[in-house]
Amino acid sequence: MSDIPEHGRQVLDADAMRQWAARGIETLTRHRRGVDELNVFPVADSDTATNMLATLQAAFQGATPGLTLPALMDEAASRALLAARGNSGVILAQMLRGLADAWTAAGIDSRGFAAGLRSATDAATAAVAVPTAGTILTVAETAASAAAKAAPFGLVSAARAAAEAAADAVAATPGQLPALARAGVVDAGGMALALLLEALVETLTGSVSTGALDLLERHRNRSGAQVEEVPRETGSEAFDYEVQYLLESDAERASELRHRLIELGDSVVIIGSRAAKSVTTFNVHVHVNDIGAAIEAGIERGRVHRISVTRFDDAYSRHHGGPASGHEEAGPFTLQRAVAAVTSLPQLRGLLESEGCPVAATASPDDVLAAIRAGGGPNAVVLVDDPAALDAVREAVGAARRDGYRVAVIPTGSIMQSLAAFAVHDAERPFDDDVIAMAEAAASCRTGEVRFDGGTVLGLVDGDVIHTGTDPAVAALDLVDRLCSAGAELVTVLAGSGSDAETVTALSDHVRRAWPLVELQQLPAGQDEPLILIGAE
């Protein structure tokens, strides 16, 4: 390293950060497939760069204009927390939180940059239950140390040192992680991070730093045939599913959850937003076989929502040659399962039961247990849209399991999400596959509500007020347009007892005219509040 500072931008401010993010997004987009092909650890699902790219796009694309660097980073970290998917995406989101916590001035010099990399590395490492050598964490550690040593020579020198050290660390990963050595690849997450650091050097200097790019190209030319010949892992060595969700809780209960998930699976990563209040949003990630247990562990410690479940390999199971969960379901009796609902809108009980979904008469353990038993088989899925009922559901599920039932709980954000989950239920599928499909259907359904608040008509989407006025019909049209413009394929309308037929008819006519490709269904409900419920899938 020369003692002479290098030419280039020597302060990282909000404008430079936006440029770095844009260049990083462009770089990962261009090399996404090549990096994804390296992905064999912790699971060979070929999505490392894809997940990191999606996280970075969520963090910075559409960011609020005119923010200072601290405000920009805080917003980006918060957006990344909610959007992060997969092991690599969650780690990147936590690194952004580490940068945000360290970068509290409008402009960051070389020492501030090095401090930020150190904060990002420490935050990401702390979020991973069992840090592993030869991964993105190792590359981040090496880059942070190099940046600190080069900081006296300016920001460009520190950034270039971090990028060069990261590329060298990536090249060394096969010697640290046996899974990489067996497959003849380097670590995908580390490679993506090295590419992002090279994008920073290009942002600061205008010149291209190619250490990681050259390594990626050499690796693809040298080892493409090797990778095809070496059996790649199909998922975690012992676990078939990736479960991820958002948890509203506090730090103490999130720590308890971490210990519980370590008992259930591996690749446990839990990241949280800045603790400005006692209740914090956490992004929870784990690889497991028991999907229901992983979700219920979160339910026991806070409010769970936005559940995502991914099967690593649909081709075959590693467990006893049976379904991916390891549980055989043979014969007509074992295929039977109840899908029971616990809802805050009892007026919908008749609608659900007419479709074959038992509903707990009250949110009591006895009634929930009765609904579970109503399916006539040893398996049950419980849909819960009422957070106040979760204690009763937990008690009932415990009793059912002691009686030999296999039960999974899917907490939904609304009755519309419960209906969406129930609509895709298929008793012919293996139990865990059915739970996955129902959880994904619930997560993909957005809910609109039109309700009165005193003399004001409110329009809400997923609990957030996006319309205020005096006319329920106008509010309903506004909601349905917003939901359809976000890509809805099916809109379900539940009219409350206080709504008038003209409003519902006008809403239906508008959807058919303005959104001809969107399927519309109306279901009888009659709830007192809200006036109108709209589900968009």
Dihedral of CA atoms 457, 461, 462, 464 in degrees, nearest 10, equals -60
Neighbours of 456 (CB within 10 A): 12
In this model, does residue 5 exceed pLDDT 70? Answer: no
Q: State the pLDDT at residue 23.
A: 94
Across 525-536, average pLDDT? 81
Q: What is the pLDDT of residues 177-209, one digit of tens each?
A: 787 887 788 888 898 999 999 999 999 998 776
Q: What is the pLDDT of residues 106-119, one digit of tens each?
A: 899 999 999 999 99
| Those residues with Cβ within 8 angstroms of residue 225's Cβ, 6 or more apart along the chain or in another chain | none
Contact by Cβ (8 Å): 209, 163? yes
Q: State the pLDDT at residue 201.
A: 93
Q: What DSSP designation does 174 have?
A: G
Average pLDDT, the chain: 82
Q: State the pLDDT at residue 43.
A: 54
Q: What percent of the chain has pLDDT over 70?
A: 86
Confidence of residue 463 (pLDDT cuts 50, 70, 90): confident
Count the alpha carbons within 13 Å of 247 in the hemisphere toward its beta carbon: 29
Q: State the pLDDT at residue 183.
A: 77
Q: What percent of the chain has pLDDT over 90?
A: 26
User: If DSSP codes are grouped into helix, strand and coil, which group holds residue 495?
Assistant: strand
Comparing C-alpha atoms, which of 96, 537, 58, 105 is closest to residue 274? 96
Q: State the pLDDT at residue 315.
A: 29
In this model, does residue 163 exceed pLDDT 90? Answer: yes
Q: Distance between CA 244 and CA 309 in Å, rounded?
A: 6
Q: Picking from 86-95, 111-120, 249-258, 384-393, which range would have the lowest pLDDT averaged per residue?
A: 384-393
Strands 464-469, 532-536: parallel, antiparallel or unpaired by DSSP? unpaired
Confidence of residue 239 (pLDDT cuts 50, 70, 90): confident
In this model, does residue 64 exceed pLDDT 50? Answer: yes
Encode burial over 413-451: b for 16+ CB neighbours within 10 A, e otherwise: bbbbbbbbbbbbbebebbbbbbbbbbbbbbbbbbbbbbb
In this model, does residue 34 exceed pLDDT 70? Answer: yes
Contact by Cβ (8 Å): 96, 60? no
Q: Distance between CA 53 and CA 92 in Å, rounded?
A: 10
In this model, does residue 223 exceed pLDDT 50? Answer: no
In this prediction the pTM is 0.69
Edge-to-edge strands of the sheet including 446-453? 464-469, 456-461, 446-453, 532-536, 490-495, 519-523
Q: What DSSP designation does 397 have?
A: H
Q: What is the pLDDT of residues 405-446, one digit of tens each?
A: 888 888 887 888 888 888 888 888 888 788 878 887 887 788
Write the DSSP string, 34-89. Answer: HHHTT--SS---S-HHHHHHHHHHHHHTTPPTT--HHHHHHHHHHHHHHH--HHHH
Tokens found for residue 302 = 């806070």
Q: State the pLDDT at residue 12.
A: 94
Q: Distance between CA 459 and CA 476 in Å, rounded?
A: 7
Q: State the pLDDT at residue 27.
A: 92
Alpha helices by DSSP H, 61-187:
69-83, 86-102, 110-127, 136-150, 155-172, 178-183
Distance of CA 492 to the CA centre of its chain: 25
In this model, does residue 225 exceed pLDDT 90? Answer: no
Q: Picking from 192-201, 240-249, 268-277, 394-403, which range would have the lowest pLDDT averaged per residue?
A: 268-277
Q: What DSSP designation does 234 have?
A: -
Q: State the pLDDT at residue 517.
A: 87
Q: What is the pLDDT of residues 307-347, one digit of tens each?
A: 888 777 542 233 323 333 333 333 333 346 778 888 877 76
The β-bridge partners of 380 are 338, 407
Q: State the pLDDT at residue 44.
A: 54
Q: State the pLDDT at residue 328.
A: 36
Q: Which residue has the higher pLDDT, 529 or 245?
A: 245
Q: State the pLDDT at residue 431.
A: 82
